[in-house]
Structure 1
Amino acid sequence: MDEALEETKILFTALADKSRLKILHALKDGKEMCVCDLADVLSVQVSVASHHLRKLRDLKVLKYRNDGKLVYYSLRDQFVGKILDLVLQQIVH
């Protein structure tokens, strides 16, 4: 049970920031996006987006792949996208 609670804490830590929520929302449908596109989603500089992406990657919420000089990010598990959808549906309705 302690391990499950630790995983839950990690997930909620990732969800505790509006910018990270925007990133997760952009990636929630199985999309893969590069850092520059996610910076546009956040309306911030690439360095700021990279900081949030690194945090999400360190929390094991995102996976990434290199393609030449670009790095593409996607959700490690669609479960996070489903949680985000569920919460947003409850708030919007």
Structure 2
Amino acid sequence: MPKTKPADICQVRCFNTDLVAHVRDSLPDDETLETAETLFAALADKSRLKILHALSNGQELCVCDVATVLDAQVSAASHHLRKLRDLKLLKYRNEGKLVYYSLRDELVTQVLNHVFKEDS
């Protein structure tokens, strides 16, 4: 009995050489793709997404502020902040006994503004 291919798979192996070459040439470089991969991994968690959104207005928040925003324990907020810092999305500074976090660059803000834009 011959095997049948699913309807959503090409029945023959062929491709448009010019189109494929054009699409390959337009792909971002590996470094850009890795940056995007990191950002999207961070955005895949609701708590981290809330933190990034809270910081997207350009202000700094201390760990206790973030915990209050999340309605979470300071240790949980600190865990998420550390993860975002390890992903190179946040920077921090110490001021006495407090640690303040902010976004490392505008990429996150641009993505969040696009995702959460309000309908006009």
Specify if TM > 0.5: yes
RCO higher in structure (CA 8 A, sep ≥6):
1
Deviations 1:37-90 (A, max 9, x none): 00000000000000000000000000000011110000001220121111112x
Q: Percent identity?
A: 68
Aligned to 2:43: 15
Task: Report the TM-score when normalising by structure 2.
Answer: 0.73
Match of 1:68 among 86, 96, 101: 96
Match of 1:32 among 44, 55, 60: 60
Aligned to 2:15: none
CA RMSD for the aligned pairs?
A: 1.0
Aligned to 2:87: 59
Structure 1 unaligned spans of 5+: none
Structure 2 unaligned spans of 5+: 1-28
Count of aligned residue pairs for this structure pair:
91
> Which stretches of structure 1, 4 residues or more, deviate above 4 A after TM superposition?
none
Distance 1:3 1:62 in 2: 18
Greater percentage in helix = 1
State the Cα distance separating 1:6 from its structure 2 match: 1.0
Structure 2 residue identity aligned to 1:84: L
Task: Report the TM-score when normalising by structure 1.
Answer: 0.93
